[in-house]
Amino acid sequence: MTVSPHSPRSPLDQPDTRRRGRRPAGEDTRRALLDAARQTFVEQGFDGATVRAIARSAGVDAAMVNHWFGGKEGLFAAAMEFPIDPAVLIEQLLAGGPDGLGDRIVRRFLSVWDTNRGGPLIALIRSASTHEESARMMREFITRVLFGRLTSALDVDRPDLRAALCGTQMSGLALVRYVIRLEPLASADVDTVAAAIGPTMQRYLTGPL
C-alpha cells in the first residue's frame, strides 16, 4: 500500500511515495480535501479557511483532515505540494538544538528540492509575481507554517523579521539554483551550499541583526 495516513515519520523518509503506484479508495478522500483546500485557502487565506469549511466543501468528515494531514498546517503544506509535514519538519530541526540549525535547514531543503528541482515552489514564485492570491499563499506559508513557527519556537527577538529574512535567503537560493541555474551554485554539492548559506540562516534565526 503506497498511501498511508499522517504519521510523524513516513512523510519525511518517503516524501513522495504517496503519489506513486496504485491509488486505493482513501486517496479519493485525500484528493478531494486537497482540491477543496487549495480553493478555500486561496479564497479565504490561512486564517479565514477553517478545517470544517474545507471538509464540508470536499464532502468528507472534518476528522479526515487530521487523519490524512495531521491538521490545518499539514493540509496547507500538502495543498502547496510541500512534501513534508511542516510540524514534523520543525520539530526535527529544533530537536538538534539552536546550534547548527541554519546548516540543518539548508541541508533539509536541498534534500527535498534537489529531487524535484524546486518544483512546486518555482511555480509558486512565478505565480506570486502576477497573482495576489499566490503572493498571499507564499506569505502565509513562510510566516504561519514554516519560518514563523521556527522563530516563535526559538524565543528570539524580532521573530517576524527573522522569519522574513529566512524567506529571502531560501527563496533566493531556490531561484538561483533551480530557475536561473547559475553555476557553480546550480551544481554545487550539498556540503558547499550548506557551508556557504548555513551561517546566513543561523544568523537570521539566532544571531544579532
Residues engaged in binding a copy of itself (CB under 8 A): 122-123, 125-126, 128-130, 135, 138-139, 142-143, 160-161, 164-165, 167-173, 175-177, 179-186, 188, 192, 195-197, 199-200, 203-204, 209
Cell 507554517, located at residue: 145
Look up residue 155 and give its DSSP letter.
T
CB of 203 to a copy of itself, least distance (A): 7
CB of 178 to a copy of itself, least distance (A): 9
Element (H, E) at 205: helix 190-206
Specify the amino acid at residue 124.
L
Those residues whose C-beta lies under 8 Å from the C-beta of residue 138, and which sit 6 or more positions away, are 124, 125, 128
> Whole-angstrom Cα distance, residue 30 to residue 140?
22
Those residues whose C-beta lies under 8 Å from the C-beta of residue 139, and which sit 6 or more positions away, are none
Is the Cβ of residue 190 or residue 195 nearer to a copy of itself in the bound state? 195
CB distance 151 to 205 below 8 Å: yes
Is the Cβ of residue 67 or residue 136 nearer to a copy of itself in the bound state? 136
Is the Cβ of residue 14 or residue 168 nearer to a copy of itself in the bound state? 168
The torsion angles phi and psi of 127, rounded to 5 degrees, stand at: -65, -35
Is the Cβ of residue 46 or residue 204 nearer to a copy of itself in the bound state? 204
Specify the amino acid at residue 10.
S
CB of 42 to a copy of itself, least distance (A): 15
Is the Cβ of residue 32 or residue 164 nearer to a copy of itself in the bound state? 164
Is the Cβ of residue 40 or residue 200 nearer to a copy of itself in the bound state? 200
> Whole-angstrom Cα distance, residue 109 to residue 103?
10
CB of 116 to a copy of itself, least distance (A): 14
> Whole-angstrom Cα distance, residue 2 to residue 24?
8
CB of 132 to a copy of itself, least distance (A): 9
CB of 195 to a copy of itself, least distance (A): 6
